[in-house]
DNA sequence: CTTCTGGAAGGAGTA
DNA sequence: AGTACTCCTTCCAGA
């Protein structure tokens, strides 16, 4: 990143606050890749070099926020989370975070009526006076978490409520996906609060991270993307190929992003203004990757007056213009892409659910909570962890099934109205980043005699969305037997302009369900819940071991206890390795656990918890383990925590609460994992309890394994499976984890009562603390099942998370804090520590390389930009 | 005949 | 640069 930046550090700290951390590297990434989802910072002159770079990343999308965002309303529900995240937002230096210059534009309901469309819901909206706040980013702002500011105020709202605000406008457009600059996004009025509250902090931040990740992940690609000619280079690919599939085709190319971005930068304000009336920043349009554009277009229907340049991508995309059917807004030309996802314009006659459609809905990459107020959207029956997706060249491989043999079931609780709703389903990512539509997979509508659930396809952005009626008569419960998964060719997708993800080994997805509930007050509550990860490749499903559950999440350092692992593909030769990673991803310790051969089955393994390398830890230590069936055939990292043997057993409330909550919400996800669904083979351990519970219990949305982003990570990281969720990337020990771990000097030791050693409790440690909580809590997804939050970053511990954490902190370190590790090493005679550099470490190295590249890139670009 | 599946060949991409 | 693997995509065949 910016070598020249100062910001970085500062960002880091902030980030930590959020608790999201994927790792140092990630931090860096985040730092420069901020994608302000919501808030955009338009670079003004003040822009620091960073800006340029940031823009380069394309991550940033100009956000125009509606200042009026109901902040007040936000935070009502989950106030818990918000607080911390939005913490005052003071910068380290004490400067108010929100100082970014901003331009407020007040528009009077100008949404094009067409856009408003019939949806009654929008009506009011359109007419409202919208005050758009154009946030001008200062460099700081950009990175500064506080920049979220708007959000900050809004945060915790669990739900995405829109009052006057049109979803359409929503910025959402995916920050992650594409260059944020996405015109569209810009065009739309953005709420200041991003994801509404949910993610106050994180989301925005994440986004950055996300994006960065992408970049990183796609190293190669990324380079190109910087220039704006991302994949243009790859001529070879070509193609188009697939009938439909290809995004339109193609590779288009593009005028370089640089040009665009810079332009953008320079004329940010103008652009922003234009955005209001036009669809977005025209300038950007060209530069914007198809994907983004399309997305944006769609999303911002209301605002979109703009027509894309003829040549623009539009050309490439054949348009399919209006494919919008019924309720969708007619897209302008660019509509979206490609043919490939086209949805047949069929007349949709679904009487039932009211067509609530998308025009005003939040972008698919927005992180939404699973519950809000009385409403709670849950996945009652999770899909199987494997489902071989079909290519367009093959026939359907059927609907996604449930483990039980049936099909996934989703239910909305708390809805007492008699009006049917529409449940939306799309295929989302399952990596460690924030949940977003999966670029390489699409939901596929299944019909036939065996399908009992009606469904309707729609396109939203480049994502196919299956709309399923949620009927009161069915208790607002839907059996998802009408959804299959289509695999798009990697080459087709990677050629899309703006696409930064790579398809190779990026084969895990999640089914994402959304429901939008109109409220009497005119607002709309949008809820979302994501399923457990689903491995969609043929091979992986057959060979990679998958750990779905573990009977214990933590145990005293002495080890010796047996732990039951449930999952798939366990072989006689399967090994279980316990690993402790330093923040940089290096393995600080790795040992093979004894597996009870006799009790082994293909779906279960009994493993003896190995003693931790240091029997005298004063605070818990987070490690991870994985099942290995051979080279490259490893399960995803599973989380495990070693507890100090003498820890006072204090059972904290949080734990209970959490659990109860979990049970209620059924976080199907990895909840299982996190929650000891399985009884420990042995009796409960005292040690386990304590403050830990909370941590442990938290379901982690993301796979712990991949701190980094995407594809790449996938490669490195062992398994791409479900359980991952439970393990959150957040692990302190994980790469993303604590920076502090490795460097003893960094610890800020807080002596715990129980521990004589000045263990560094990371409480204050920026890096450390986040991790702790992170695993499962994600501010963004307060109650939502972990599923929804994929972030690799340790998620930011939601307020909720934090609370417990802090509360219990004194007695025991919550989630093993890494710091402890360090301390231990020093203070006690630990077991021999084996420091092993594993291939996985490559992740880190890889990241380093990438960062280096990025730095170079940025420096170049920034200089250009400024010049 | 169509749909759903499991398997696997071949080529491309990686390590 | 060459080799050994992996992974992706397309085909084939059976239910």
> What is the per-residue DSSP string for A392-415?
TTS-------BTTSS--EEEEES-
Assess contact for A647 and A816: CB atoms under 8 A.
Answer: no
In the 371-390 segment of chain A, residues within 7 Å (Cβ) of strand B are 388, 390
A433 CA to C3 C1' distance (Å): 35
pLDDT for residue A630 is more than 90:
no
Name the nt closest to A711 by C-alpha to C1'.
Answer: C7
pLDDT score at A557: 92
A235 touches strand B (CB under 7 A): no
Taking CA atoms, A386 is separated from A380, A401, A435, A529, in Å, by 18, 9, 19, 19
Name A235's bridge partners: none
pLDDT confidence of A643, banded at 50, 70, 90? very high
Tens digit of each residue's pLDDT (9 = 90 or more) over A1-12: 333 332 222 222
Alpha carbon distance A434, A318 (integer Å): 30
Q: Which residues contact A857 (CB under 8 A, 6 or more apart)?
A: A53, A56, A223, A226
pLDDT confidence of A461, banded at 50, 70, 90? confident
Which residue's C-alpha is at the least distance from the C1' of B7?
Answer: A538
pLDDT confidence of A414, banded at 50, 70, 90? very high
A538 touches strand B (CB under 7 A): yes
Q: pTM of the predicted model, to two decimals?
A: 0.45
Alpha carbon distance A8, A143 (integer Å): 8
pLDDT for residue A413 is more than 70:
yes
Name the nt closest to A491 by C-alpha to C1'.
Answer: C8
Which nucleotides of chain C are near protein (any atom < 7 Å from a CB)? 5-13
pLDDT score at A32: 24
pLDDT confidence of A400, banded at 50, 70, 90? very high
Tens digit of each residue's pLDDT (9 = 90 or more) over A112-121: 333 323 332 2
A244 CA to B14 C1' distance (Å): 29
pLDDT score at A586: 73
Share of chain A above pLDDT 70, in %: 32
Region A551-561 average pLDDT = 91
Which residue's C-alpha is at the least distance from the C1' of B15?
Answer: A839
A429 CA to C9 C1' distance (Å): 21
Alpha carbon distance A323, A303 (integer Å): 18
Name A527's bridge partners: A515
Query: What is the maximum alpha-carbon separation in chain A?
Result: 72
Assess contact for A147 and A203: CB atoms under 8 A.
Answer: no
A665 CA to B7 C1' distance (Å): 39
Name the nt closest to A398 by C-alpha to C1'.
Answer: B4
A824 CA to B13 C1' distance (Å): 43
Tens digit of each residue's pLDDT (9 = 90 or more) over A705-739: 332 233 333 332 333 333 322 333 323 323 222 22
A397 CA to C14 C1' distance (Å): 15
pLDDT score at A546: 75
In the 97-156 segment of chain A, residues within 7 Å (Cβ) of strand B are none
A419 touches strand B (CB under 7 A): no
pLDDT for residue A155 is more than 90:
no
A576 CA to C6 C1' distance (Å): 22
Q: Which residue would you say has higher pLDDT here, A638 or A866? A: A638
Region A98-118 average pLDDT = 30
Tens digit of each residue's pLDDT (9 = 90 or more) over A214-227: 333 333 332 323 23
A385 CA to B7 C1' distance (Å): 20
Which nucleotides of chain B are near protein (any atom < 7 Å from a CB)? 3-8, 13-15
Taking CA atoms, A201 is separated from A89, A96, A734, in Å, by 10, 15, 21
Tens digit of each residue's pLDDT (9 = 90 or more) over A557-591: 999 999 998 877 777 777 888 888 877 767 788 88
A372 CA to C9 C1' distance (Å): 43
pLDDT confidence of A311, banded at 50, 70, 90? very low
Assess contact for A131 and A66: CB atoms under 8 A.
Answer: yes
A395 CA to B4 C1' distance (Å): 8
Region A160-178 average pLDDT = 33
A542 touches strand B (CB under 7 A): yes
């Amino acid at each position: 990143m910016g070598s020249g930046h100062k910001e970085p550090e500062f960002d880091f700290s902030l980030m930590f606050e959020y608790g999201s951390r994927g790792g140092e590297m990630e931090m860096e990434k985040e730092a420069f890749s901020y994608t302000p989802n919501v808030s955009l910072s338009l670079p003004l002159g003040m822009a620091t070099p960073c800006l340029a770079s940031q823009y380069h990343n394309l991550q940033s999308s100009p956000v125009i926020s509606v200042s009026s965002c109901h902040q007040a309303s936000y935070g009502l529900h989950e106030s818990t989370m918000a607080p911390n995240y939005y913490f005052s937002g003071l910068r380290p230096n004490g400067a108010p975070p929100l100082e970014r210059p901003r331009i407020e534009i007040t528009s009077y309901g100008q949404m094009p009526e067409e856009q408003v469309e019939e949806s009654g819901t929008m009506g009011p909206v359109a007419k409202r006076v919208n005050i758009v706040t154009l946030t001008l980013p200062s460099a700081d702002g950009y990175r500064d978490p506080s920049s979220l500011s708007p959000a900050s105020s809004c945060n915790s709202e669990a739900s995405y409520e829109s009052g006057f605000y049109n979803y359409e406008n929503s910025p959402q457009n995916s920050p992650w996906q594409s260059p944020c600059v996405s015109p569209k996004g810009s065009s739309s009025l953005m709420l200041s609060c991003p994801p509404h509250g949910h993610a106050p902090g994180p989301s925005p931040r994440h986004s950055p991270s996300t994006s960065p990740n992408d970049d990183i992940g796609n190293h190669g690609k990324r380079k190109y993307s910087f220039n704006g000619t991302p994949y243009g280079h790859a001529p070879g690919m070509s193609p188009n190929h697939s009938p439909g599939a290809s995004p339109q085709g193609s590779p288009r190319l593009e005028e370089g992003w640089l040009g665009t971005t810079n332009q953008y930068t320079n004329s940010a304000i103008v652009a922003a203004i234009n955005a209001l009336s036009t669809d977005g920043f025209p300038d950007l349009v060209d530069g914007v990757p198809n994907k983004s554009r399309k997305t944006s277009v769609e999303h911002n229907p209301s605002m979109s007056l703009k027509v894309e340049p003829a040549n623009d991508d539009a050309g490439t995309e054949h348009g399919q213009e209006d494919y919008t059917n019924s309720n969708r807004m007619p897209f302008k030309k660019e509509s979206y892409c490609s043919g490939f996802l086209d949805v047949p314009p069929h007349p949709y006659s679904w009487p039932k659910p009211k067509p609530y459609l998308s025009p005003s809905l939040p972008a698919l990459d927005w992180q939404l909570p699973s519950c809000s107020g009385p409403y709670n959207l849950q996945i009652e029956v999770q899909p199987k962890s494997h489902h071989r997706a079909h290519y367009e060249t093959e026939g359907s491989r059927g609907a996604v099934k449930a483990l039980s043999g049936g099909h996934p079931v989703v239910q909305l609780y708390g809805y007492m109205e008699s009006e049917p709703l529409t449940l939306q389903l799309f295929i989302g990512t399952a990596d460690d980043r924030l949940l977003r539509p999966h670029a390489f997979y699409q939901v596929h509508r299944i019909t036939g005699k065996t399908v009992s659930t009606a469904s309707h396809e729609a396109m939203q952005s480049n994502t196919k969305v299956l709309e399923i009626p949620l009927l009161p008569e069915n208790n607002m419960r839907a059996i998802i037997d009408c959804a299959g998964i289509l695999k798009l060719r990697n080459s087709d997708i990677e050629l899309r302009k703006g696409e930064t993800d790579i398809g190779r080994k990026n084969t895990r997805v999640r089914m994402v369900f959304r429901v939008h509930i109109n409220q009497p007050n005119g607002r709309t509550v949008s809820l979302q819940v994501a399923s457990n990860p689903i491995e969609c490749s043929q091979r992986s499903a057959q060979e990679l071991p998958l750990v779905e559950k573990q009977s214990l999440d933590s145990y005293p350092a002495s080890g010796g206890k047996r732990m039951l692992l449930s999952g798939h593909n366990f072989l006689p030769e399967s090994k279980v390795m316990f690993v402790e990673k330093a923040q940089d991803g290096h393995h600080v310790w790795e040992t093979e656990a004894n597996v009870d051969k006799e009790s082994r089955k293909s779906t279960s393994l009994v493993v003896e918890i190995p003693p931790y390398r240091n029997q005298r830890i004063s605070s818990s230590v987070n490690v991870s383990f994985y099942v290995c069936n051979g080279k490259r055939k490893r399960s995803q990292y599973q989380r495990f925590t070693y507890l100090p043997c003498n820890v006072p057993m204090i059972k904290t409330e949080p734990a209970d609460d959490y659990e109860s909550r979990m049970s209620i919400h059924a976080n199907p996800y990895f909840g299982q994992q996190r929650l000891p669904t399985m009884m420990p083979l042995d009796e409960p351990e005292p040690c386990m309890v304590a403050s830990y519970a909370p941590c442990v219990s938290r379901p982690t949305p993301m796979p712990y394994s991949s701190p980094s982003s995407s594809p790449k990570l996938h490669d490195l990281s062992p398994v791409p499976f479900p359980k991952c969720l439970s393990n959150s990337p957040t692990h302190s020990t994980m790469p993303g984890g604590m920076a502090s771990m490795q460097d003893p000097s960094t610890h800020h030791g807080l002596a715990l009562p129980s521990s004589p050693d000045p263990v560094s409790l990371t409480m204050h440690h920026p890096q450390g603390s986040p991790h702790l909580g992170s695993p499962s809590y994600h501010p963004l997804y307060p109650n939502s099942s972990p599923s929804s939050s994929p972030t690799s970053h340790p998620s930011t511990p939601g307020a909720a998370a934090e609370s417990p954490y802090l509360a219990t902190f004194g007695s025991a370190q919550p989630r093993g804090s890494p710091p402890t590790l360090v301390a231990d090493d020093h203070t006690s005679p630990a077991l021999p520590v084996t420091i092993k550099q594993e291939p996985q470490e490559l992740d880190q190295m890889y990241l380093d390389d990438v960062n280096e590249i990025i730095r170079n890139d940025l420096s170049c670009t920034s200089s250009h930009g400024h010049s």
